[in-house]
Each structure stands twice: as C-alpha cells, then as structure tokens.
C-alpha cells in the first residue's frame, strides 16, 4: 500500500466577504491538496466566519498553503492544529433501511455510540450521532452491515483547548 498521506486540521478566521471561500479553496486546489471536509460557520461576531478544513497533503505543501492563506486580504488567521491541541467534534445523520426484524440490532449499535433516533418509519431509521470523526467512522462501519440509504456528515469542527487560540 502507498504511504498514508497525513490529514491536517486547519482553522481559518476570515472576514465575511464575498469570494473569501473561493480564494481559500483555490490555494488548496492549486497545490494539489484534497479537501476532506470544510465547515464554514459564523464567527463570534457576524462580520467574521470560521472555517475548519481537514485536508490531505505533504508538510511542505501545507506550510505553503498556510502562508498563502494567511496572506489573503480577508484572512485574519490561519493555523494548523494537531489532534492533541484541540477538541474535535463532528455530527452525522445516518438513514438506515431496517425492517422490524433488524430494528433492535440497529438500535443497539446506536445506543453503544450514544446516537439518537431522530426519525423512524416502517422501513427506515435516522440516527444522529456526534463525537470524534473516528467514532463516527466506527459507527458507520458497523451500520454498513445493514443498508445505509443516506449518510450526511458535517465534517470536523475543532476548537483549541485552554487559553490557546483556535
């Protein structure tokens, strides 16, 4: 197998202006980085947005991307965080096809991962789970034994622990 390409957590604090997202996305695509997940949300005040990006690529490319992003006129800060430095959460909604025969098993899995049932019908169930991306991966993995009709994940959001800035 080929060498595992490392995934990086980046947090970008950006003025809420048209084009900001496109400019940031371009700095990644230009350097061959694959964005795994991207979450854009309002910052603490309305004029700013917080972007959390998980992307795969080599260290040298990453350093370039951080510097190129930091240089964008709209960007106030662009930082990489190791997994240890942050709390990371993700939310997933999983729609699983279940008949009454298998519902119990699926609910058991849900219970193990502390997932909530947010919709239930005769042929399907929608589960909501939050936690680390790895935990969600594990849950989805187990559920894939049944028929997953749809899967929607928010992508990872991170926040630096303690006094550190994200």
Partner 1 sequence: MSENQMNGAEALIQSLEKIGIEIAFGIPGGSAIPIYDALYKVRRKMKFVLVRHEQNAAHEADGYARATGKPAAVLVTSGPGAANTVTGIMTAYMDSVPMIVVTGQSVRGMLGKDAFQEADIFNLTMPIVKHSYLLKNANEIPRVIKEAYHIATTGRPGPVLIDVPKDVGTEACTAELEAEMNLPGYKPNPKGYGPETIRQIADALAKSQRPVIIAGHGAVLSRAEKELRQFAETLQAPVATTLLGKGVFPDSHKLSLQGLGMHGTAYANRAVVECDLMISVGARLDDRILGVPSQFCKNAVKIHIDIDAAEFGKLVKPDIRCRGDAKTVLQDLLPLLKKGDTAEWIKRIEGFKKKWPMTYAKKGGLHPPQVIDALNKLTGGKAVMTTDVGQHQMWAWQFFRCDKPWQFISSGGAGTMGFGLPAAIGAQFGRPGETVVAIVGDGGFQMTMSDLATAVIHKLPVKIILMNNHYLGMVRQWQDMFYDERYSGVDLEGNPDFVELAKAYGVLGLNLKRAADIPKVLKKALEHPGPALVNVEVVHHEEVFPMVPPGKPLEDTVLCHPRRKPGRPAGRKNGPAQTGKKNA
Residues making contact with partner 1 (CB under 8 A)? 14-15, 18-19, 22-23, 26, 30, 47-48, 60, 63-64, 67-68, 70-76
When the beta carbons of 6 and 19 are compared against partner 1, the nearer one is 19
Q: Which CB, 48 or 142, lies closer to partner 1? A: 48
C-beta closer to partner 1: residue 15 or 91: 15
Rounded CA-CA distance 166/159 in Å is 5
CB atoms within 10 A of CB 13: 18
Between residues 64 and 132, which has the closer beta carbon with respect to partner 1?
Answer: 64
Least distance between partner 1 and beta carbon 73 (Å): 4
Listed residue (78, 98, 76) closest to 27, CA to CA: 78
Q: Which CB contacts under 8 angstroms, 24+ apart, belong to 107-114?
A: 109/139, 109/142, 109/143, 110/139, 113/138, 113/139
Q: Report the nearest approach of partner 1 to the CB of residue 15 (Å).
A: 5
């Amino acid at each position: 197998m080929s060498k595992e390409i490392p995934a990086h957590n980046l947090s970008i604090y950006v003025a809420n202006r048209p084009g900001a997202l496109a400019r940031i996305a371009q700095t990644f695509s230009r350097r061959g980085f694959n964005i795994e997940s991207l979450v854009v949300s309002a910052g603490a005040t309305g004029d700013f947005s917080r972007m959390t990006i998980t992307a795969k690529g080599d260290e040298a490319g990453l350093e370039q991307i951080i510097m190129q992003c930091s240089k964008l006129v709209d960007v106030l800060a662009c930082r990489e965080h190791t997994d240890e430095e942050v709390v990371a959460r993700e939310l997933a909604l999983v729609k699983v096809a279940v008949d009454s025969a298998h519902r119990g098993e699926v609910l058991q899995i849900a219970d193990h991962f502390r997932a909530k049932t947010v919709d239930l019908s005769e042929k399907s169930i929608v589960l909501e789970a939050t936690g680390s991306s790895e935990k969600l991966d594990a849950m989805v993995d187990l559920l894939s034994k049944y028929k997953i009709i749809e899967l929607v994940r928010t992508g990872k959001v991170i926040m630096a622990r303690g006094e550190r800035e994200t």
